Structure 1
């Protein structure tokens, strides 16, 4: 006779409430950000993330596709498609990695840097209005302090690019 595993205990009302509030806030914020990015730069959110990582976070303006996919939490195939659109628009270039010929490196172009500069002021304003205006400086720090360990816990798992690909 086989014993079935014990089902997990349900979330309590506080946990469930926190989950729903977080998801609603994330959804509303993402909608406002996506609208601003479309209006100001004809960019999707993922395209903005790629350009921002390359143009604002990377000292060289370049990253391997695998690292970009892990950083923006996006599928490799989806990222390849988005990078292709950005390359076609002249905002990034792609080339074989100098370190590993199997890898592809994406580099932001001057046009990509210019577009980031164009959309960034509106992006900051949306964040200020939608996310930060109802919070005090202390509340903002508390929010960051609460979410950082959750993010770190989630990021402790192997990166998505290290996982096996599902076969169809």
Structure 2
């Protein structure tokens, strides 16, 4: 088995990663400027704003594809800013429920128009309707393939090294 990528696979990979980096950089700048939040924080707030019920920390971590510890850190910052609340689940003492506050919802509503103004020209304007359909199908297939693996939050943790 050959471990090297074919030239066209390598090219597709680099083009994809460059496009994602360029888009993410512009989105990150817009969110920091208009909302004082990071992209990860926006993802958490947007996910919470999209549902009418609290989500667990694990659901948030799986949804944004970050580790539980990274999401916990980001959630602490959002809670300190008054954008979310966290509380123990009445059904499962191990679970923490996260809810967006009115201030968090207002922040999402405030930054979303600028978010769209960044995304539309960069990502969607160069695409035809057919391109958009194809891109959606391709990326859904790739995402679903990747999501068939256990979520990061469910991955086994590496054992810690014993202290000397």
The TM-score, its normalising length taken from structure 1, stands at: 0.92
Equivalent residue runs for 1:6-155 within 5 Å: 8-56=2-50, 58-60=51-53, 62-155=54-147
RMSD in angstroms over aligned alpha carbons? Answer: 1.0
Q: C-alpha separation between the residues in 1 aligned to 2:74 and 2:138?
A: 32
- Residue segments in structure 2 that go unaligned for 5+ positions in a row: none
Could you tell me which residue of structure 2 aligns to residue 3 of structure 1? none
| SS in structure 2 at match of 1:95 | strand
Deviations 1:85-142 (A, max 9, x none): 0000000000001221111011000000000000000001111011011111111111
Please give the alpha-carbon distance, in whole angstroms, between the structure 1 residues aligned to 2:91 and 2:15.
Answer: 44
Runs of 4+ displaced beyond 3 Å: none
SS of corresponding position for 2:9: helix
TM-score, normalised via structure 2 length: 0.94
Matched residue count: 160
Residue 165 of structure 1, CA deviation: 1.3
